[in-house]
């Protein structure tokens, strides 16, 4: 009888731990979030006017100050109206931090205006120590071609998903409450048995910092821009240039041109062409990128 009671109590404790993790998992998850300085979070497309049934690419680029091996808790938006054909991601480290780059190949089956909601990243903001949800920009595309499927269902999908989440949470709370009541009844009838203590091995020391070529991030940004001359790559190259010149975050172009590391004509041209390539209208983007690439090459010679 005693052995059966212990088995029943152990099974109940395991079930309760599972329910508590599912229902109360948010605070524990907040404690496990990485502590990050999130400097940029950009969602972009390689075309503003995709064509029905013709694949195109969406790109998510995140830059943080910390050097990390993997960026956790990145959540993509729901791609209602799009089919995902492929997904590849890279994580690149440099002296200036880490860049996470995720590239998706997608295809649309219906025409019209399509709005993609922001992606998000859950992390501890290293500036004030608070748990936050960092959002990318949203993206609006005009899909050209005959209409095969409407795109106006995304709002309904979000509402249905939110309603199901609320119902699941209420059911979870009720089930957890019932398990707690049952556990209290069992513990009042039987003396609790000591739980086994698990001793965790000591944490391994972090790997030593390996000195890198200070121009490596800028050279990598140039290679990416030459391979794919898009606005997202231009923004990434502009960030790498400013970090290489140690220009403070949030500085305007005028401030950057007056900094101590921007006194040569070559550096000034690079800063000016970078600003234009990052923020010019779509019709002038190709010419701006073609002007930006030679100035970066000259910076690296």
Task: Give the model confidence (pLDDT) of 233-258 as tens digits.
Answer: 999 999 998 898 889 888 888 888 88
Domains of the chain: 1-31+153-193 (no CATH), 35-152 (2.60.40.10), 216-300 (no CATH)
Among 37, 109, 121, residue whose Cα is nearest residue 77: 121
Sheet holding 38-45, edge to edge: 38-45, 56-64, 97-108, 82-94
Q: How confident is the model at residue 163 (pLDDT cuts 50, 70, 90)?
A: low
pLDDT at 4 over 70: no
Q: For residue 124, what pLDDT is reported? A: 94
> How many angstroms separate the CA atoms of 275 and 65, rounded?
21
Among 209, 210, 213, 216, residue whose Cα is nearest residue 240: 216
> How many angstroms separate the CA atoms of 134 and 36, rounded?
11
pLDDT at 119 over 90: yes
Q: How far is CA 261 from CA 10, 109, 272, 276, in A?
A: 66, 50, 14, 20
pLDDT at 222 over 80: yes
Q: How far is CA 95 from CA 74, 99, 159, 233, 243, in A?
A: 22, 11, 43, 19, 9
Please answer whether residues 230 and 44 qualify as being in contact, where contact means their C-beta atoms are separated by less than 8 angstroms: yes
Q: For residue 185, what pLDDT is reported? A: 85
Q: How confident is the model at residue 291 (pLDDT cuts 50, 70, 90)?
A: very high
Residue that wins the pLDDT comparison between 66 and 154: 66
Residue that wins the pLDDT comparison between 30 and 217: 217
Q: How confident is the model at residue 155 (pLDDT cuts 50, 70, 90)?
A: very low
Q: Is the pTM of this model over 0.85?
A: no
Q: How confident is the model at residue 206 (pLDDT cuts 50, 70, 90)?
A: low
Among 128, 115, 82, 84, residue whose Cα is nearest residue 102: 84
Q: What percent of the chain has pLDDT over 90?
A: 44
18-34 average pLDDT score: 58
> How many angstroms separate the CA atoms of 263 and 98, rounded?
28
Task: Give the model confidence (pLDDT) of 120-154 as tens digits.
Answer: 999 999 999 999 999 999 999 999 987 554 554 44
C-beta neighbour count of 125 within 10 angstroms:
15
Please answer whether residues 23 and 176 qualify as being in contact, where contact means their C-beta atoms are separated by less than 8 angstroms: yes
Q: What is the mean pLDDT of the chain?
A: 82
Q: How confident is the model at residue 90 (pLDDT cuts 50, 70, 90)?
A: very high
> How many angstroms separate the CA atoms of 12 and 143, rounded?
54
């Amino acid at each position: 009888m005693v052995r059966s009671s212990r088995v029943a109590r152990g099974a109940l404790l395991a079930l309760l731990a599972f329910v508590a993790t599912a229902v109360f998992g948010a605070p524990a998850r907040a404690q496990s979030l990485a502590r990050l300085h999130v400097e940029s979070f950009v969602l972009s497309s390689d075309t503003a006017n995709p064509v029905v049934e013709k694949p195109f690419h969406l790109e998510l680029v995140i830059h943080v100050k910390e050097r990390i091996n993997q960026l956790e808790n990145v959540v993509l938006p729901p791609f209602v109206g799009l089919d995902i054909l492929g997904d590849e991601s890279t994580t690149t480290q440099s002296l200036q931090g880490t860049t996470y780059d995720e590239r998706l190949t997608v295809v649309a089956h219906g025409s019209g205006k399509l709005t993609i909601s922001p992606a998000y990243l859950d992390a501890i903001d290293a500036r004030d120590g608070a748990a936050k949800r960092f959002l990318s920009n949203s993206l609006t595309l005009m899909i050209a071609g005959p209409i095969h499927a409407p795109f106006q269902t995304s709002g309904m999908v979000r509402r249905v998903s939110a309603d199901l989440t609320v119902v699941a949470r209420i059911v979870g709370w009720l089930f957890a409450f019932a398990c707690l009541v049952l556990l209290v009844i069992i513990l009042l009838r039987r003396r609790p048995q000591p739980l086994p203590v698990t001793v965790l091995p000591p944490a391994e020391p972090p790997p030593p910092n390996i000195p890198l070529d200070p121009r490596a991030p800028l050279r990598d940004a140039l290679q990416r821009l030459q391979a794919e001359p898009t606005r997202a790559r231009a923004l990434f190259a502009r960030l790498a240039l400013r970090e290489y010149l140690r220009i403070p975050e949030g500085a305007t172009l005028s401030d950057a041109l007056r900094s101590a590391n921007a006194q040569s004509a070559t550096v000034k041209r690079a800063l000016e062409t970078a600003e234009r390539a990052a923020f010019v209208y779509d019709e002038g983007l190709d010419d701006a990128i073609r002007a930006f690439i030679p100035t970066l090459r000259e910076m690296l010679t």
